[in-house]
Amino acid sequence: MRDPRYDILFEPMAIGPLTAKNRFYQVPHCNGGGYRDPSAAAAMRATKAEGGWGVIFTEQTEMHHSSEITPFIELRLWEDKDIPSIAKMAAAMKTHGALAGIQLAYSGINGPNMYTKEVPLAPSALPIRTFTNDPVQARAMDKTDIKNLRRWFVNAAKRSKLAGFDLICLYGAHGFGIFQHFLSRATNQRSDEYGGSLENRSRFAREVLADLRDAVGDTMALTLRVSLDETIGQLGFSNAEVRDFIAMNAELPDMWDLAMGTWEDCSGPSRFKEEAAQEAWVTGIRDLSPRPVVGVGRFTSPDVMARMIKQGRLDFIGCARPSIADPFLPRKIDEGRIDDIRECIGCNICVTGDMTQGMGRCTQNPTWMEEWRRGWHPEKIAAKGESQSVLIIGSGPAGLEAARAAALRGYDVAVAEALDSYGGRVARERQLPGLSAWGRVADYRLYQLGQRPNVQMYPGSRLTAEEVLAFGFQHICVATGSTWRADGVARQHVVPMPINAQTPIFTPDDLMAGRIPSGRVVVFDDDHYYMGGVLAELCAQKGCDVSLVTPSAFVSDWTANTLEQSQIHRRLAGLGVAIRLNTGIAAVQAGGVETCCTYTDARGLIECDVVVLVTSRTSNDGVFLDLMARQGDWADAGIRSVKVIGDAAAPAPIAWATHAGHRYARDLDAPDLGDALPFRREVTRIED
Ligand code: ADP
Ligand code: SF4
């Protein structure tokens, strides 16, 4: 039964000529699959439809070949040939009464055109602005180009309609869409009627919306996604200017879609941004226009969502990440199942699918982007096979997810955990600065396990192979995690580095266990994800004099993929951490470290009292290896399978562990596929 406090979230609302069934609005988001994996992307959207979203959007859709963002994999609508694959997505979105939206993107100053080799077109001639500083500049559009672009938008809108979409979102936020490029004085330095005054800078948006209204506006709703603030001061499209723009063009689109001006700001990780972080930026905008307003803010709490609507901040609750972590979020609120919501932890691993052109992953929802490939549904799972009992050793993300999914299938599940508390690495990492929301990985799963009669939990049980053989479980899942190395082995040193025993060495495990160093601390980061930066932050907070040394050219290098690298650098610099980039450690000496330049090997010295090595991890696979050595005893013990998963198999981020746990449970009693590919794949059709 739905709590009446949330009724407001389920009130229908008109958007132009159409009506959305509720206020849950899945804003456009990338997924790494895009045009390469159209059926996988479509099936992912279908789960959102089933989960109760009122409006569901595509990722950004490149609407003309003269502007594309290779290597990033989005959707393409360049010619009629592209219609069938996106029509499949539109149909998937509409399966449960949701409105299907397509986001049309012309990337302008953000499109380097690495694939089409076309000269990029933008309001003004400037270097292309991408993550990779591509050495390409855009040509300033002349009047003919603008006329052409208006026509290309009409063509794309007509194709969108043919494909079955209900809404069109014109992209002008995050720095990625041409509408923002025209609106911002930073990227529009024109002196004709398209530049200068705000009135002039708005002209292009007004013209395109008028064109589209004529072409498709009788049946389709038109939304404009505008930047809430470009966050580059007065030169950029500021929050004050977006308010002027909306007031001046109050009835321009059928709906205002508000999002921060840079993607890093809009999709800020929980380490740097709270839920509803954009509230101050959107407050009051709804009063400027009669049109409904949607905004985002990593909303996972139904109370915050209801408040945003009751207080007149927003009309629709825009969600990307919360809809990835839990595609069934609206339905769970509707059914009064608030405790079952799988809350987004704000880690931004989902973004890395796009940034690395891999396949999207979600730490909380391991079925994301596997709906079609592997047939994984976020809420449903096949009933158990013919065997009965599973022992899971270790209660980290891998073990807990394996247990949750196996229990859901109906197996009798026992979880043995060496420590007195559950959660493995997330129980420790959630204590680190900025990472408290990560604890939701354990909280969600522990709650689910607590609801099931077929689960037994055994804390304080550090198992040996001998004990496991004595228990009589049919399947043994070893999810015993990993331990940070203290010998410096990672990428710079593939064998242990020279370490003088007089200098104390700390590992991340020491710090997470509460052993905090003091004095002058060198944090050596040869891991390159978040841990080095987080521990430098922790040590600085605790009053240490911290130097962060890394062979990379960037602090916490890989976090560029989670959109937080620049914020991490800024935070550490603000805390007074001395940052030494392109620098390795040749040796830990008595009283300091001998540094070496990554490029020239030039040596230097940093005096310190303690070295924190954030390098690599060793799998805790002892129990697994011991069990494998005793395969001859399995039959007598009733054991059918022993598997090692997660960090105990190979250390990786938390999302890899939840994926491994989920896969383990799905594969129980499954037929052996032999050498066959374990997932479906879409292969390009060869042209005649
Ligand atoms: P993952 O990320 O793969 O889930 P974690 O390191 O988070 O791995 O979790 C592993 C968990 O396994 C830890 O809580 C650890 O205490 C527990 N563990 C390790 N060895 C044993 C063992 N022999 N018996 C029971 N639990 C163990
Ligand atoms: Fe949220 Fe992390 Fe999942 Fe993205 S990957 S949806 S940030 S939990």
- Ligand 2 atom with the smallest distance to the CA of 348 is 7
Ligand 2 centroid, distance to 631 Cα (angstroms)? 39
Percent pLDDT > 90 in the chain is 97
What single letter denotes the amino acid at residue 622?
A: G
- Ligand 1 atom with the smallest distance to the CA of 416 is 25
CA torsion through residues 14, 18, 19, 23, sign = negative
Q: Is the model's pLDDT at 688 over the cut of 90?
A: no
- Ligand 1 atom with the smallest distance to the CA of 649 is 3
- Ligand 2 atom with the smallest distance to the CA of 269 is 7
Pocket of ligand 1 from Cβ distances under 6 Å = 393-399, 416-419, 424-425, 461-463, 479-482, 620, 623, 646-648, 657
Ligand 2 centroid, distance to 666 Cα (angstroms)? 21
Ligand 2 centroid, distance to 135 Cα (angstroms)? 32
**Residue 571, both tokens:** 């935070």
285-290-295 Cα angle (round to 5): 40
Q: Which of 339, 267, 331 is nearest to 299 (CA)?
A: 267
Ligand approaching nearest to the C-alpha of 440? 2
State residue 488's pLDDT score: 98
Ligand 2 centroid, distance to 442 Cα (angstroms)? 14
Ligand 1 centroid, distance to 436 Cα (angstroms)? 20
Ligand 1 centroid, distance to 541 Cα (angstroms)? 29
Q: From CA 131, how far away is CA 356, in angstroms rounded?
A: 12
Supply the DSSP string of 51-111, one letter for each residue. Answer: TT-SEEEEEEEE-STTS--TTS--EE-SSGGGHHHHHHHHHHHGGGTPEEEEEEE--GGG-
- Ligand 1 atom with the smallest distance to the CA of 399 is 4
Q: Is 277 exposed, middle or buried (0-12, 13-18, 19+ CB in 10 A)?
A: middle
State residue 261's pLDDT score: 84
Q: Is the model's pLDDT at 212 over the cut of 90?
A: yes
State residue 20's pLDDT score: 98
- Taking only the tens place, the pLDDT of each residue in 24-78 is 999 999 999 999 999 999 999 999 999 999 999 999 999 999 999 999 999 999 9
Q: Which of 282, 277, 235 is nearest to 257 (CA)?
A: 282
For a ligand 2 pocket test, name from 341, 350, 365, 529 the mutation site with the most ligand atoms within 8 angstroms of its C-beta. 350
What single letter denotes the amino acid at residue 25?
A: Y
For a ligand 1 pocket test, name from 349, 401, 404, 417 the mutation site with the most ligand atoms within 8 angstroms of its C-beta. 417
Ligand 2 centroid, distance to 438 Cα (angstroms)? 10
- Taking only the tens place, the pLDDT of each residue in 301-329 is 999 999 999 999 999 999 999 999 999 99
Residue with tokens 């989670």: 562
**What angle in degrees, to the nearest 10, is found between the helix axes of 654-667 and 397-409?**
30
- Taking only the tens place, the pLDDT of each residue in 153-204 is 999 999 999 999 999 999 999 999 999 999 999 999 999 999 999 999 999 9
Q: From CA 15, how far away is CA 19, in angstroms rounded?
A: 6
Q: Across the chain, which distance is largest between two alpha carbons, in Å? A: 85
Do 33 and 43 touch, CB atoms closer than 8 A?
no
Percent pLDDT > 70 in the chain is 100
Q: Which of 326, 316, 380 is nearest to 350 (CA)?
A: 326
- Ligand 1 atom with the smallest distance to the CA of 645 is 3
Q: Which of 97, 100, 99 is nearest to 334 (CA)?
A: 97
Do 167 and 17 touch, CB atoms closer than 8 A?
no
Nearest CA to ligand 2 atom 1: 344
- Ligand 1 atom with the smallest distance to the CA of 479 is 3
State residue 687's pLDDT score: 86
With b for 16 or more beta-carbon neighbours within 10 A and e for fewer, the 465-500 pattern comes to beebbeeebbbbbbbbbbebbbbbbbebbeeebebe
Ligand 1 centroid, distance to 395 Cα (angstroms)? 6
Q: From CA 182, how far away is CA 245, in angstroms rounded?
A: 12
Q: Which domains does the chain have, with CATH numbers?
A: 4-355 (3.20.20.70), 389-481+620-667 (3.40.50.720), 487-618 (3.50.50.60)
Ligand approaching nearest to the C-alpha of 662? 1
Pocket of ligand 2 from Cβ distances under 6 Å = 321, 324-325, 344-350, 362-364
**What angle in degrees, to the nearest 10, is found between the helix axes of 565-574 and 530-541?**
20
Q: Is 286 left (phi over 0), alpha (psi -120 to 50) or beta?
A: alpha
Ligand 2 centroid, distance to 131 Cα (angstroms)? 21
For a ligand 2 pocket test, name from 349, 436, 563 the mutation site with the most ligand atoms within 8 angstroms of its C-beta. 349
Q: Within a 10 A sphere around the Cβ of 211, how many other Cβ atoms?
A: 16
Ligand 2 centroid, distance to 200 Cα (angstroms)? 39
Q: For residues 464, 467, 473 and 478, what is the CA-based torsion angle, rounded to 10 degrees?
A: 0
Nearest CA to ligand 1 atom 13: 424
- Taking only the tens place, the pLDDT of each residue in 476-492 is 999 999 999 999 999 99
- What is the chain's mean pLDDT, rounded? 97
- Ligand 2 atom with the smallest distance to the CA of 345 is 8
Nearest CA to ligand 2 atom 6: 321
Do 95 and 49 touch, CB atoms closer than 8 A?
yes
- Ligand 2 atom with the smallest distance to the CA of 322 is 6
Q: For residues 654, 442, 556 and 611, what is the CA-based torsion angle, rounded to 10 degrees?
A: -110
Q: Is the model's pLDDT at 233 over the cut of 90?
A: no
- Ligand 1 atom with the smallest distance to the CA of 622 is 23
Do 9 and 24 touch, CB atoms closer than 8 A?
yes
Q: Is the model's pLDDT at 649 over the cut of 90?
A: yes
Residue 99: partners with Cβ closer than 8 Å, 6 or more residues away: 15, 18, 20, 54, 55, 56, 93, 166, 167, 221
State residue 634's pLDDT score: 98
Nearest CA to ligand 1 atom 6: 481
Q: Is the model's pLDDT at 235 over the cut of 90?
A: no
Q: From CA 456, how far away is CA 413, in angstroms rounded?
A: 6
Ligand approaching nearest to the C-alpha of 414? 1
Q: From CA 236, how far away is CA 185, in angstroms rounded?
A: 6
Phi, psi of 411 (to 5 degrees): -75, 155
Ligand 2 centroid, distance to 649 Cα (angstroms)? 23
Nearest CA to ligand 1 atom 22: 462
Do 39 and 88 touch, CB atoms closer than 8 A?
yes
Ligand 2 centroid, distance to 67 Cα (angstroms)? 29
Ligand approaching nearest to the C-alpha of 362? 2
Q: Is the model's pLDDT at 234 over the cut of 90?
A: no
Ligand 1 centroid, distance to 443 Cα (angstroms)? 16
Whole-prediction pTM value?
Answer: 0.97
Report CA-CA distances (Å) from 365 to 24, 328, 388, 566, 661. 19, 11, 25, 27, 11
Residue 514: partners with Cβ closer than 8 Å, 6 or more residues away: none
For a ligand 1 pocket test, name from 364, 471, 620 the mutation site with the most ligand atoms within 8 angstroms of its C-beta. 620
Phi, psi of 400 (to 5 degrees): -65, -40
Ligand 2 centroid, distance to 269 Cα (angstroms)? 9
Ligand 2 centroid, distance to 360 Cα (angstroms)? 10
- Ligand 2 atom with the smallest distance to the CA of 655 is 5
Ligand approaching nearest to the C-alpha of 627? 1
Ligand 2 centroid, distance to 359 Cα (angstroms)? 14
Ligand 1 centroid, distance to 601 Cα (angstroms)? 39
- Taking only the tens place, the pLDDT of each residue in 255-293 is 999 998 889 988 999 999 999 999 999 999 999 999 999
Residue 504: partners with Cβ closer than 8 Å, 6 or more residues away: 517, 609, 610, 611
Supply the DSSP string of 501-551, one letter for each residue. Answer: TTS-EE-HHHHHTT----SEEEEEE-S-SHHHHHHHHHHHHTT-EEEEE-S
Q: Is 625 left (phi over 0), alpha (psi -120 to 50) or beta?
A: alpha
Do 542 and 330 touch, CB atoms closer than 8 A?
no
